[in-house]
Each structure stands twice: as C-alpha cells, then as structure tokens.
Amino acid sequence: MDNTNKNPLVAGLMNVVLPGSSQLYVNHDWGRFAGAFVLGVAAFVAAIWGGNVVQSARAYAMPQGMCMGIMLMAITAVLFLSGQKTAKERNTQIKTAAYYNSKRTVPHETYEQRNVRTKKMRDEGLISEQEYKDKNDKVDLDE
C-alpha cells in the first residue's frame, strides 16, 4: 500500500459515479469495494422504486419525478460524503504514522547514525528545527 495522501474531493466524486470506488482509490480494498457497490446499487434501486410508488399514490400531488429526485439526491450526498471521509481517515493515518516514526528511536544505532537520522527528519519536515536541536543536545549529553 502506498503512503501518499489521497484527495478527498476525488474520492467523493468517484464514489458518486461508481459506489464503492473510493475504497479502491484510497485503500486498494476489493472486498470493501464489492460490499459498498452492492449497497450503493441497492440504495439507488430502492430510491427509484420508492419514488415511483409514492408518485403513483393518489394522495400525493407532487410534480412528476420530484420524490424520486429527492431520494436520489440524498443517496448521492451520502455517497459523496462517505468517499471524502474514507480519504480523510486514510490521510490522518498516514500523518499519524509519520509522526510516530519521527518520535521513535532505534536502540542500537550510533550517535552519528542518530544525528544523520534526525537531520533527515528535519529536512523532510517531520520534525521542527527546535526538535532537531533538542535531539542533538540529548545525543551530546548521552555521550
């Protein structure tokens, strides 16, 4: 699995066009894609069927297609927000893992290796300049 951030807008739009496709885009998970696809298609079919049933009832005097349109819009909004949420959660996991890895120490590394590692983390933006200085001061005290 790659550690690149995924665009929540793209994930949401993909999920609207093909329900469940945000799972493929974000997590490369075919199992979740299949489940979400079946649920999404079932929701669309139920909305179309339910809209037609309500529209054909004599008690409701709505313009043609209005009830079905409202139901389809609600399902589309839920699918879009679900796709966005999937991408945002994955991006948060990546950031959390990067932060955790930046704080982790390797027990058997030399002071030179630790200095090189902290410099690399600073250059990649994983730690601030102050954290870099604090880590190097700690290394100097440990010697």
Q: Could you tell me the residue range of the domain that residue 7 belongs to? A: 1-91
Instruction: Give the C-alpha separation, 97 to 3, whole Å.
Output: 10
Helices (H) and strands (E) in the chain, counts: 6, 0
Residues 79 and 137 in one domain: no
Asked, for residue 70, whether it belongs to a domain, the answer is yes
Asked, for residue 112, whether it belongs to a domain, the answer is yes
pLDDT digits (tens, 9 = 90+) for 123-135: 888 888 888 888 7
Asked, for residue 96, whether it belongs to a domain, the answer is no
Give the type of residue at 126. L
Percent of the chain with pLDDT over 90: 45
Mean pLDDT, residues 83-105 taken together: 85
Asked, for residue 97, whether it belongs to a domain, the answer is no
Residues 123 and 85 in one domain: no
Instruction: Give the C-alpha separation, 135 to 6, whole Å.
Output: 32
Residues 39 and 11 in one domain: yes
Write down the mean pLDDT value for the chain.
85
Residues 85 and 130 in one domain: no
Asked, for residue 66, whether it belongs to a domain, the answer is yes
pLDDT digits (tens, 9 = 90+) for 34-79: 999 999 999 999 999 988 888 877 676 677 778 888 899 999 999 9
pLDDT at 82: 96
Residues 18 and 66 in one domain: yes
